[in-house]
Structure 1
Amino acid sequence: MKHFSILVLLLLLCNALSFAQNATITGIVLDDNNQPLADVNITTQGLGTITSSNGFYILEITADIENTITFSHIAHKDVILKNLLLTTNETFEFNPVLKVDVIQIDEVSVSATGERTLENILNVTPETIRKIPGANSGVETILKLLPGVSSNNELSTQYAVRGGNYDENLVYVNEIEVYRPFLIRSAQQEGLSFVNSDLVKDVKFSAGGFQAKYGDKLASVLDIKYKTPTLFSLRADLSFLGASASLETVSKNNKFSSVSGIRYRNNSLLVNSQQTQSNFTPSFTDVQSYLTYTVSSKLQLNFLGNLAVNDYTNEPLNRQTNFGTLDNPQALVVYYQGQEKNRYTTALGALKGSYFLNENTTLKLISSIYHTIEEEYSDVIASYELGEVDSNLSSDSAGEVLTSRGIGSQFNRTRNDLDALIFNIEHKGSHTMNNSVLEWGAKYTHEDIRDQLRESEFIDSAGFSIRPPRAEFTNNQPADSFDAPLVAYNGIYALNFVKTNRFSGFVQLGTQKTWNDTDIYYNIGVRSHHWTVSGTDVEKVSQTVISPRGQLAIKPKWDKDMLFRLSTGIYHQPPFYRELRDSSGTIQPNVKAQKAFHLVAGNEYSFLLWERAFTLISEAYYKKLENVNPYTLEDVRIRYSANNDTEAYVYGAEVRMNGAFVPGTESWISIGYLKTEENRNNRGYLPRPTDQRLKLGILFQDYIPTIPDLKMYLNLVYQTGVTGGSPSYADPYIFQNRLRDYKRADLGISYIFASKDKQYPNTHWLHTFKELSFGFEIFNLFNNQNSITNTWVRDADSKNEYAVPNYLTSRVLNLRLGIRL
């Protein structure tokens, strides 16, 4: 009996241990077209399961031993996952792609960060995106650390890529092109990026030489994939800058899933750190949802919806900006009256249907409608004083203006209204054959823009209203009397009703081959775009462009892990509404598509350093631009000349190394050089507004070894200054200046109370939290004075005009709380 009791006890103990040594593998099985695959058999060591109708599976395996997982399907070749070693209660997500022509066998390797990988592919995880500190935390914060991406304004989510401007970047969310408001002129009016980082699953970014399947822009593509949830989850993020919450749901039969997010942002904390004191009342709110419904094994429906309301009210009060030199310190003191009241309301609804004709062919139909109503109303009077500053540090009036050298006033009035409706319907398809994928697409876009511009600027200096320095305003005072009416120094008055119909399409073929133990991949394709511009008092004009493109990648079977890439092609950017509108607000329908020839050569080298994995990525590029539509850039507002009398070029090189500089983390350092110039009307080359010569970006993550849950995130940016423009009516070929270099450091420190790797028993108060973190962020850690534009002030004595910098935000402290249930 005693021996029997001991035997029972041992059996119970072994049974308990067996339950304690389980782990879980889960995910979605996909086919060659990245579509969910049902009825896939998943087996390991006598255990098994099959995927549901939407490709989802979950399988418990034995922990702390090496497992071999086999994925098999009657119409596809097997995927065999070897050497998968999971710890007790660990969950590993694996989303394999089953092919019809080749058995895939791979071993699971553990990187220096502890992440299990199967391929050497750089991928910025959504978790990293959410944790990186920044005035506008999210995808754009990560992009701005890349060597070819520049932005001199931390309040803006916009970015320039390799010499392009903000209008030259494509953004897709689940294959749906998204837009941003038209009238925003200042970064502090932007509010929120369209992309909600809490909903993001994958981020892909191309800085040039992209495939023909992507649309008609000159600079870059940001391709975002939102999640298709498999489990319920609730996430919240709170800080002094606002709050956000996201919800992930899935039905019991796994046919329906949704991911939704709501965000609120208030930039008062940042804007109040600027030199202009103001009563600032912003309200930036948006709601997004991405819904997925699997009708059958052959049909899947998706819906993306977004509603954003940006209310911006600003009542500036006063400002003092000290500038000049140590020998001649000066100051601009401004007192304001009036206020700005702007409102931007945007809505997007998109429906996508995917039909799986057979195992090799997928057909998609995508439709979307975007509507924006934008209002800009402002009446601001600025009375200014330009004077010398008391530089005696021991004086009670140190830093204050002692004597005035000029006084004046400026009155700005704005009454702008815009109503834009953009409708898209698109068909896309793909067909897999052997080692090749054929993709095609056709798209129709209708744009209906109704725009009323009413802007005026009056300048008064010592009691005299200054008229525009144009020939029609010359006079011979005081010899001849002059009684003409007051005329604004700058004024725009236009009423535009413009419609554009666009037809575009593409076809491309991608093939992978092996030649002499060398893997070769190439993609060739061509796009075509035809558009017609018409409207009230607008001449009807039609144009067509064709854009061939190609990419080549070679991976030799060397001991060193090297990959070589080459991309080239012709890229056109047919004019959007703003590119048709000249400096006076008049529509010029004959504006041609800007044209760029891209040549990009790159190399990826993966290696071990300090017994940790690193990747070195280097690229060199050249762009030749024709039919360029020149523009001026002030803050984030772009104003085009609406002609094609300019040619330009861009060239540069970039290097980026990423890896585990600190064990268990991922960091990177990047450096890039860029030069871009334009030749207007054969007058010679001069720097473009985005001529950002040198760029250094560092993303560094660290932790305290004895307290590994105390994390540190640091991002550093250094950029040489871009051209700062010139005073109104000044010829840029006569007057050019550059803004000061942009230097910024943002620091984030947080403590992880709970995470997927740090769970608690049922009795603990932290058990209900899947994730819980609290910390602080310091923006502009070293309090650098960065400027984005200049205010031009005339000295009545010397007749000189001074470029007074408009400084950006100073050092700011922000607290942040993150929760996931």
Structure 2
Amino acid sequence: MRTNKYFFIFFFFAICSITLAQNQTAKVAGIILDENNLPVENVNVSYQTKTSTTSADGFYELTVPANQRIVLVFTHISLKSITATIQLKPGENFEFNVVMNDKAEQLNDVVITNDRKRVQGITTIQPEVIRRNPSANAGIESVLKTFAGVNSNSELSTQYAVRGGNYDENLVYVNEIEVYRPFLIRSGQQEGLSFTNTDMVQNVDFSAGGFQAKFGDKLSSVLDITYRKPTKFGLAAEASFLGGSVTAEGVSKDKKWSAIGGIRYRDNSLLVNSQETQTNFRPTFADVQANINFTPNKKWQFSFLGNASQNVYNYQPLTRQTNFGTIDEPIALQVFYQGQENDQYQTLFGAFKSTFTANENSIYKFIGSVYHTKEQEYFDIFAAYFLGEVDSNIGSENLGNVVFNRGIGTQLNHARNDLDALFVNAEIKGTHFIKDKKHQIDWGFKYTRENIRDRLVEWEVIDSAGFSINPPILDFPNDQPYTPYTGPLAPFQNVRATNFIDINRFSGYAQWNTKTSFGNNQLWITAGARFHHWMVSGRGISGGKAQTVFSPRAQFALKPDWDKDMLFRLSLGYYHQPPLYRELRDFDGVVNPNVKAQQSIHFVLSNDYNFKMSNRPFKLVTEAYYKSMTDVNTYTLENVRIRYRANNNAEAYAYGLDMRLNGEFVPGTESWLSFGYMKTEENQDNRGFIARPTDQRLKFGILFQDYMPNLPNMKLYLNLVYNTGLPGGSPSYADAYEYQNRLRDYRRADVGFSYVFTEKNNERPEGHWLRKFQDLSLGFEIFNLFNNQNAITNTWVRDVYTKNQYAIPNFMTTRVFNIRFTAKL
């Protein structure tokens, strides 16, 4: 096997790959209607020598070559012919519906990278890339983490931060319906499943900043997902050591009804048992999703999206040993545990959407959704720890063992946290085209009611060498054992609160976009504004005031009349984030109803360059950005749980540069390289700027696909991420200005090998058993290929003798092996 030169450049070790590609195929399918919206039978759909004929319900399907422009011809004995130029990617299933009449017509080219998304600065991710990507937490989020401006140092969590924001600052939509995340998430082990079922996905769009006014009120990013609308029966299944899934789809005979649904189950035991904390822990996750569509006629479309999920965590830690310190002074933390944790998260989500096409220039949509979550965190965990010096003398019988304990103590953590939240949304949206569709107007209004019932009971007691340690906020002299202590005994941390909160929100937007030209240059302009009005009320809440924010935004895209295919974009505007419940609650669990919306001003300047290298398509996207933030609600991170101060006491900024090169490094496959530099700091109470918890300076990400020339059935997928270390955070009770150390750099490589039995399936004879499958493959995956120790946060341990407090890194998973089987009919 000949080594691919690109592979050599970007990876630490030489993994063999190929440079020669062979033609691959894609499928195009759809329904052909006449002017009266009736299906047309016996339409001949052809490409060169390949043909297909529509059935009585107007349906057709045709296998075509991938990665090249082809011309489809639609002919009928009584209707005029239609031609359409398309270009698809390997393995893609493209839905292409056509309306035929008595006038000859040539349809516009259908290409994957279209101008609309390109001028909006939206990155499109192919579903097949998501499904094939090897990752400990496979899904859309695992692919996003290879992008330059996206950060996450926890492979057990679907949370991600974008360009200096935190995990709560990202919008997620499925079929234009906003998706909510759990509230009580405490650790990276508690998110085994993303909301999105990747086997149901048709399209994924992502914007890392400077997005349009039609998207909602968050500060950082937008992930816009569209589920597939089936055109025929299909069945897909996947099984691995981490769980499995089954997805089914179908369509009625009259093509008016279609449905797709899936069941998923995941067990993270394989991953969590590789961590340094030895546990009896089997976290399980399960969900059921369904998307049902009904199209009674040309004017109306109806759909329902439903989801039910349950996550269960029965956690019983046993022991832990973490080695840290320096070569000259190695230190080890040994912990012995008693007790257990029992957490559960149950969510129900349902949404109804209807679309009315009044005429070719006006479209109206109504969306109603309900989200209900019941979450609990119960734990009583007793930990006895020994902080000691490690024997580093080579040749010693005790090499690597603790030889002297400098700190001995115990810690008891208790929690009885319950949350019940109900969100109800109603939204109406409209789209209008003016003057031969040269201008487009979008508008929308939305009402949201949030009802939260929350009980928070948490306390922590720390005992060192038999003497209880009081929290820093209690200023009582304590120099035990030399002087008897006569002050009060108090938990080191103690939070008790019960909150019943109602939040009513009204929001809306109006947006205009157009395409014009001057000379031979093309210019796209988008301008719009949002408003958001809300008020917090509830039991025991007094003095809550109604608040309103306005967010004007604009985007400009220029395509010069150059030989090179370049596009320049400028995006700027105001972005507000009215607080959700978690942002209203301070460290003590007390709700401040008058927390302001955090405000950010985005400036994004980008260049999009399409070119060919070795006669293969590539794209280079470069974005420089600056964000100025005011009314910042500062926070601390405990693993991936965010605790806010709820006082808008800071200002902040973020600036950086993102670069991403994607294309066919290997013919017929899509890979990319990304690089990012970012700096983000905040100034609390005018004390000076310090690093924010998400201050990720350098980022390198690679997603690479390859296959063997002599064995084209064997595919290779590699996911590599390198981040410089994030700030290690500070204890929630401490002054962040005194804790500015950083975690070690994050380095991770996941690799997957997959043998595809259905490769070149179209060349097999009719009746062969493999022709029944669209995909049948067996894969072998290695997570954390180089067995790097990556930390997510720090545990803070006090040395009673020196009065120092040590940051003990909480390491994530080590190297893990997995086998995955997939089948699709």
Mark yes or no: TM-score above 0.5: yes
The 5-angstrom pairing of residues 260-409 of structure 1 reads 260-409=261-410
- The Cα of 1:644 is off from its aligned counterpart by 1.1
Change (3 A) 1:783 1:636: same
Per-residue deviation, residues 305-352 of structure 1 (Å, max 9, x unmatched):
000000001100001111111111111100000000000000101001
- Please report the TM-score for the alignment, with normalisation by the length of structure 2: 0.89
Alignment of 1:544 with 2:548, yes or no, is: yes
Give the whole-Å Cα distance in 1 for the aligned partners of 2:81 and 2:608.
Answer: 29
Change (3 A) 1:414 1:97: farther
Structure 2 equivalent of residue 590 of structure 1: 594
CA RMSD of aligned residues (A): 3.3
SS at match of 2:719: strand
- The Cα of 1:285 is off from its aligned counterpart by 0.3
Structure 2 equivalent of residue 722 of structure 1: 726
What number of residue pairs does the alignment pair up? 785
Structure 1 equivalent of residue 159 of structure 2: 158
Change (3 A) 1:382 1:98: farther
Give the whole-Å Cα distance in 2 for the aligned partners of 1:519 and 1:179.
Answer: 38
- The Cα of 1:481 is off from its aligned counterpart by 6.6
Alignment of 1:468 with 2:477, yes or no, is: no
- The Cα of 1:98 is off from its aligned counterpart by 8.7
Change (3 A) 1:39 1:345: same
Contact 1:594 1:625 in 2 (8 A): yes
Change (3 A) 1:584 1:682: same
Contact 1:79 1:96 in 2 (8 A): no
Give the whole-Å Cα distance in 2 for the aligned partners of 1:631 and 1:367.
Answer: 32
- The Cα of 1:403 is off from its aligned counterpart by 1.6
Per-residue deviation, residues 190-217 of structure 1 (Å, max 9, x unmatched):
1211011111000000111111111000
- The Cα of 1:103 is off from its aligned counterpart by 7.5
Change (3 A) 1:606 1:30: farther
SS at match of 1:128: helix
SS at match of 2:781: strand
Structure 1 equivalent of residue 619 of structure 2: 615
Structure 2 equivalent of residue 627 of structure 1: 631
SS at match of 2:680: strand
Structure 2 equivalent of residue 752 of structure 1: 756
Structure 2 equivalent of residue 205 of structure 1: 206
Contact 2:364 2:429 in 1 (8 A): yes
Structure 1 equivalent of residue 12 of structure 2: none
Alignment of 1:436 with 2:439, yes or no, is: yes
Moved more, 264-273 or 747-756: 747-756
Contact 1:29 1:51 in 2 (8 A): no
Moved more, 749-758 or 508-517: 749-758
SS at match of 1:707: coil
SS at match of 2:335: strand
Contact 1:106 1:118 in 2 (8 A): no
SS at match of 1:374: strand
SS at match of 1:541: coil
Return the letter of the residue paired with 1:724: G
The 5-angstrom pairing of residues 796-807 of structure 1 reads 796-807=800-811
Return the letter of the residue paired with 1:280: F
Moved more, 122-131 or 672-681: 122-131
Per-residue deviation, residues 647-693 of structure 1 (Å, max 9, x unmatched):
11110011111111112211110101000001111111111000000
Structure 2 equivalent of residue 573 of structure 1: 577
Gaps of 5+ in 1: 1-21, 110-114
Structure 2 equivalent of residue 810 of structure 1: 814
Return the letter of the residue paired with 1:452: R
SS at match of 1:766: helix
Alignment partner for residue 819 of structure 1, among 814, 820, 823?
823
Alignment partner for residue 777 of structure 2, among 773, 780, 789?
773
Change (3 A) 1:676 1:392: same
- The Cα of 1:511 is off from its aligned counterpart by 0.7
- The Cα of 1:394 is off from its aligned counterpart by 3.5
Moved more, 56-65 or 755-764: 56-65
Alignment of 1:529 with 2:528, yes or no, is: no
Structure 2 equivalent of residue 732 of structure 1: 736
Contact 2:32 2:100 in 1 (8 A): no
Per-residue deviation, residues 203-240 of structure 1 (Å, max 9, x unmatched):
00011111111100000000000000001111011110
- The Cα of 1:770 is off from its aligned counterpart by 2.3
Contact 2:32 2:39 in 1 (8 A): no
Contact 1:533 1:541 in 2 (8 A): yes
Structure 2 equivalent of residue 220 of structure 1: 221
SS at match of 1:444: strand
Give the whole-Å Cα distance in 2 for the aligned partners of 1:688 and 1:291.
Answer: 43
Structure 2 equivalent of residue 458 of structure 1: 461
Alignment of 1:649 with 2:665, yes or no, is: no
Per-residue deviation, residues 12-35 of structure 1 (Å, max 9, x unmatched):
xxxxxxxxxx9985236899xxxx
The 5-angstrom pairing of residues 101-250 of structure 1 reads 123-250=124-251
Per-residue deviation, residues 13-58 of structure 1 (Å, max 9, x unmatched):
xxxxxxxxx9985236899xxxx976699776899988999xx742
SS at match of 1:269: helix
SS at match of 2:375: strand
Contact 2:713 2:759 in 1 (8 A): no
Gaps of 5+ in 2: 1-24
Give the whole-Å Cα distance in 1 for the aligned partners of 2:804 and 2:589.
Answer: 30
Rg larger in 1 or in 2?
Answer: 1
Structure 2 equivalent of residue 412 of structure 1: 413
Give the whole-Å Cα distance in 1 for the aligned partners of 2:548 and 2:513.
Answer: 26
Change (3 A) 1:71 1:412: farther
Contact 2:698 2:723 in 1 (8 A): yes
Structure 2 equivalent of residue 561 of structure 1: 565
Return the letter of the residue paired with 1:489: F
Give the whole-Å Cα distance in 1 for the aligned partners of 2:174 and 2:413.
Answer: 38
- The Cα of 1:614 is off from its aligned counterpart by 0.8
Per-residue deviation, residues 463-496 of structure 1 (Å, max 9, x unmatched):
0011112245456989997555531101100000
SS at match of 2:230: coil
- The Cα of 1:358 is off from its aligned counterpart by 1.4
Per-residue deviation, residues 767-796 of structure 1 (Å, max 9, x unmatched):
432211001110000000100111112222
Give the whole-Å Cα distance in 2 for the aligned partners of 1:61 and 1:591.
Answer: 57
Between the aligned residues of both structures, percent identity stands at 55
Return the letter of the residue paired with 2:250: T
Change (3 A) 1:91 1:648: closer
Change (3 A) 1:759 1:771: farther
Change (3 A) 1:499 1:759: farther
Return the letter of the residue paired with 2:756: I
Moved more, 514-523 or 779-788: 514-523
Per-residue deviation, residues 107-139 of structure 1 (Å, max 9, x unmatched):
688xxxxx9999996632111100000011110
- The Cα of 1:761 is off from its aligned counterpart by 3.8
Contact 2:33 2:100 in 1 (8 A): no
Structure 2 equivalent of residue 489 of structure 1: 492
Structure 1 equivalent of residue 789 of structure 2: 785
SS at match of 1:733: helix
Contact 1:143 1:149 in 2 (8 A): yes
Contact 2:750 2:783 in 1 (8 A): yes
Structure 2 equivalent of residue 695 of structure 1: 699
- Please report the TM-score for the alignment, with normalisation by the length of structure 1: 0.90
Contact 2:431 2:443 in 1 (8 A): yes
Give the whole-Å Cα distance in 2 for the aligned partners of 1:104 and 1:163.
Answer: 47
Give the whole-Å Cα distance in 2 for the aligned partners of 1:118 and 1:477.
Answer: 72
SS at match of 2:142: helix
Contact 1:282 1:310 in 2 (8 A): yes
Structure 1 equivalent of residue 16 of structure 2: none
Change (3 A) 1:24 1:97: closer
Moved more, 116-125 or 304-313: 116-125
